A and B are shown apart, each in its own frame.
Chain A
Amino acid sequence: MAKKLEEWPWRDKYGDYAMVPVPEKETRSLLSIFYVYTGVLACIAVLWGGATIGTQFCLKDAVLVAIVGSAILSVIGGLTAPIGGVSKASTYLNMRFPFGMLGSKVFGTILAGISSGIGWFAVQAWLFGIIIHTLAPQAWWANVGVAAIWGGALMVTTAAIGFRGLASLSYIAVPFFMLLAGIGIMIGVEGGGGFAGIAAIAPTAPVSFGIGVTEVVGMYAVGGVITADISRYAKRYYDGSVAWIVQLMIFQVYMLVGAAMLTLVTGAANVAQALLVGGAGLGAFLMAMLGQWTTNDNNLYSGALSFSLWIPTKKSYITIGEGIIGITVAALIGFVAGEAMAPFQEFLTLLGKIIPPIGGVLLADFYLFRWYRGIPFKKRYQFKPGMKFAQVNWVGWASMIAATVLGGWVIKGGIACLNGLIIAFVLYAMIAILCDKAGIAIEFGEHTIDETGM
């Protein structure tokens, strides 16, 4: 007998369940979740990350760095994904519990709206322009600015459709990308005179093992914190974790090592160009195009989800508006400044320092504080119309700010993004539990959500 679906008391006024939990009938298979996550991973940036490792380590160490870095990311995302799987809500809605209504808006907007949705979207669209220009320097349509415009427009289309758009593109792009990465390995093996030949090549700019791991973790730490945006669509609460861990431990390692091999052999950090020179033909173009597309539509998607918290209109309109701003920035820089994106990227990196602490606070609240208060696992973060939320949870704010400062600037050792996450986790768990025992209120103000989630 078919399982009876629970009554869904919400109204999805803004589309794509941006403000309300995903209903059971709209949940998707483990394979779908896996494809969308891997679609984000399958991007040129990861290959460039692999290429960087290729200049810093010999083949054996590059494999170890890729495995250790991916394992750390697996732990972060493997823990955040079930939060979305249980609550069926996006990261920014979940943030209402440990940060309050105001905190979820402020930090959600910084985390995804400005950082991913506009900032990184613009950077990736500009990068798309650069790559296409490198592949076809003579063509007018491959001018950096022009390519950023049409590439950005493609990315906006799938993001505006929502989860269905992201998933259908990933269905096409992910297996394709994996095959292309395999072709990269073949070209590397051919150029390097076999695996033994590649293993004997010394890196050109060696660094310590820790720096390599930091690079791998830092490359995808934001993705690890916002896994709930996708895992909320999972049928079972642990599907998101499984999908996340498999894509990292198998496919990220595979892509990083493939790119590292290609770089060790060719010495070129631009993987798409190395593939083109190596003879991959049209595949190099499609790899660049689909790789950036599947990643950047997710940036926009997460950004629009966070903006939905305080812009009461259809999520697709927010996506398009956000996309237009990002494309304009990317095209302007492409037309006018060319390579002068570095200060902008530094600003985004700065914003990125607060992201791991947000993840740390979320994890501490969901796994430790709720457990301490005796709330069963599957009853945590359950949204209901008419539910009351605090405006501010000061412990969440204080832990996040302190961990950002300590992890981002004060503590120099270890892996910077992990430091922030762990400090925030410890601070939040300690202060919240101590306040609870001492009878000190950690929440102020009150807001009642209606059936639209607002």
Chain B
Amino acid sequence: MLLLGIAMLGLAAAVWPKNVYAGVLYIIIGLTQFLDSLIAFPRIGGKKDEVTVGNISVQHSWLCVSIGVAGAATILAPFFEAESSLPYLAFIICIVWILIGIINIYKAVVDVKARMIV
């Protein structure tokens, strides 16, 4: 997820000259996902209880899914058109985020009995 966040920031830099607003959108999405993943490490680090780790993972995964959905719904919108394959790459990254988030939530809830609503 961290790497995908960095990749999205890279796409933001590439798309900026073509459409500033698309660049800003990619930065917001990439940075939010990057920070969401980054903050999860210190929160989980040192925790021994699997359920606690699962609960923290669920919290971060919900944000990952939500921002992924928002990105997927808006990146290809006419306002953010960039006349290249960059928006499609960004769109795919958002879909991957959604999938990772859902799998994370599913595994945390089913495997370690974490709460879906923390």
Contacts and interface: CB of A to CB of B under 8 A. Distances in A.
A372 B78 CA distance: 62
A29 B55 CA distance: 11
A279 interface: yes
A293 interface: no
Chain A, interface size category, equals 20 to 34
A282 B67 contact: no
B117 A280 contact: no
Contact of B79 (A171, A172, A279): A279
A441 B85 CA distance: 77
A385 interface: no
B74 A171 contact: no
A260 B73 CA distance: 23
Interface string A149-174: 00000000000000110011001111
A361 B69 CA distance: 43
A15 interface: no
A175 B32 CA distance: 10
Contacts of B28: 179, 182
Contacts of B62: 168, 171-172
Contacts of B71: 179
Contacts of A283: 70, 73-74, 77
B117 A183 contact: no
B106 interface: no
Contacts of A281: 73-74, 76-79
A395 B106 CA distance: 52
Contact of A179 (B21, B29, B116): B29
B79 A183 contact: yes
A187 interface: yes
Contacts of B76: 281-282
Contacts of A175: 32, 63, 66-67, 70
Nearest to B63: A175
Given A183-B25, A186-B79, A278-B79, A32 B118 contact: yes
A28 B66 contact: no
Interface in A262-281: 278-281
A190 interface: yes
Interface centre among A32, A171, A173, A278 (most CB of B within 10 A): A171
A411 interface: no
Interface string A278-292: 111111001000000
Interface in B51-65: 59, 62-63, 65
A364 B18 CA distance: 59
B78 to A, nearest CB: 4
Top 9 closest A-B pairs, CB basis?
A279-B79, A281-B77, A279-B78, A171-B62, A176-B70, A283-B74, A175-B66, A167-B117, A179-B70
Interface of B: 21, 24-25, 28-29, 32, 59, 62-63, 65-67, 69-71, 73-74, 76-81, 116-118
10 contacts: A31-B59, A174-B66, A175-B70, A176-B67, A179-B28, A180-B70, A180-B74, A283-B74, A286-B69, A286-B73
Interface of A: 28-29, 31-32, 163-164, 167-168, 171-176, 179-180, 182-183, 186-187, 190, 278-283, 286
